[in-house]
């Protein structure tokens, strides 16, 4: 029996775990990706105390802090959550019970849905430049997207590849931070291709090229897709949580419409999806759960 089960092991979930531990709550963290999606980030340049830090390194520090406070973090995927008198959480490895639940599952990478994308996944199509950039030393690559993630991925790839295209459907970069745009514009290896969409990925055993909607064909060795993320709606649906376009609706205390269920991080309908805001939301959620448990215990 746990006071709080946190589903999701990214910045929101791990920050909540730290606060829950300091409140002496019996806590369990379940996460299919320890560290969450920040492990895909090449550099994080807007997290307090660090001028810049790699996503993997930051995630590792967060995990170490939670474990030092003796919060178990299990690499398990929650597949079903039921509310009875208590909450029952089934994972791919076991079953657990808790008085309160925090959903901090973040988001998943959006697919391009282009012809050949599925067939060449892992054979030249990638969704993680941090994971695969080093495989393309001296080769030609392309990134699809115009966000901070897309531009930072292009900059990382430029450290290995001899040429990096950024293919973006708009006429200029406007979603990314000006600092990232400036770095991309200064890098001679990076070539923006505006007003274009990838409609087909082709090759034989691995990617050899792409076709754009303007009829142009480009020879590349690897395609990195950075076109945003979408929330996983399965657990919110099971619990009957109110959502807005798939994102869980929360109040200022990170409470959902279902008593005893909290949400924090990218999975919520809060506007700014950043590691630092996820940490804050996780802290608030843990505090809210603690306050509620105190009242229920009559303390």
Instruction: Catalogue the active-site residues.
Output: 128, 131-132
| Torsion (CA) 231, 237, 243, 247 in degrees, nearest 10 | -10
Asked if 230 and 110 touch (Cβ cutoff 8 Å), the reply is: yes
Distances (CA, A) of 81 to 4, 15, 28, 47, 210: 13, 22, 14, 33, 42
The secondary structure element, H or E, covering residue 295 is helix 275-297
The C-alpha atoms of residue 120 and residue 183 are separated, in whole angstroms, by 30
83, with CB counted inside 10 A (0-12, 13-18, 19+), is middle
8 closest CA partner among 68, 54, 63, 65: 63
| Sign of the torsion formed by the C-alpha atoms of 131, 71, 68 and 272 | positive
User: Quick check: helix, strand or coil at residue 188?
Assistant: coil
Asked if 126 and 225 touch (Cβ cutoff 8 Å), the reply is: yes
């Amino acid at each position: 029996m746990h006071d709080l089960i946190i589903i999701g092991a990214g910045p929101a979930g791990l920050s909540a775990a730290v606060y829950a531990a300091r409140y002496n709550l019996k806590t369990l963290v379940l996460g299919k990706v320890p560290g969450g999606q920040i492990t895909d980030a090449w550099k994080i340049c807007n997290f307090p105390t660090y001028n810049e830090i790699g996503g993997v390194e930051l995630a590792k520090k967060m995990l170490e802090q939670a474990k030092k406070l003796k919060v178990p973090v299990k690499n398990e995927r929650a597949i079903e959550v039921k509310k009875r008198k208590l909450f029952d959480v089934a994972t791919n490895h076991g079953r657990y019970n808790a008085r309160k639940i925090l959903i901090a599952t973040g988001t998943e990478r959006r697919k391009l849905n282009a012809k050949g994308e599925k067939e060449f996944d892992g054979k030249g199509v990638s969704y993680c430049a941090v994971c695969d950039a080093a495989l393309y030393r001296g080769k030609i690559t392309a990134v699809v997207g115009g966000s901070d993630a897309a531009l930072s991925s292009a900059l990382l790839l430029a450290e290995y590849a001899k040429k990096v295209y950024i293919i973006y459907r708009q006429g200029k970069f406007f979603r990314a931070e000006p600092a990232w745009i400036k770095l991309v514009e200064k890098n001679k290896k990076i070539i923006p291709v505006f007003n274009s969409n990838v409609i087909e990925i082709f090759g034989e055993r691995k990617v050899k090229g792409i076709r754009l909607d303007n009829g142009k064909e480009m020879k590349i060795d690897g395609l990195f897709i950075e076109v945003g993320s979408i929330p996983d709606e399965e657990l919110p649906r099971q619990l009957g949580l109110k959502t807005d376009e798939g994102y869980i609706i929360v109040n200022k205390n990170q409470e959902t419409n279902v008593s005893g269920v909290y949400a924090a991080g990218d999975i919520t309908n809060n506007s700014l999806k950043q590691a630092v805001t996820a940490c804050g939301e996780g802290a608030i959620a843990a505090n809210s759960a603690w306050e509620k448990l105190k009242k229920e215990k009559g303390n």
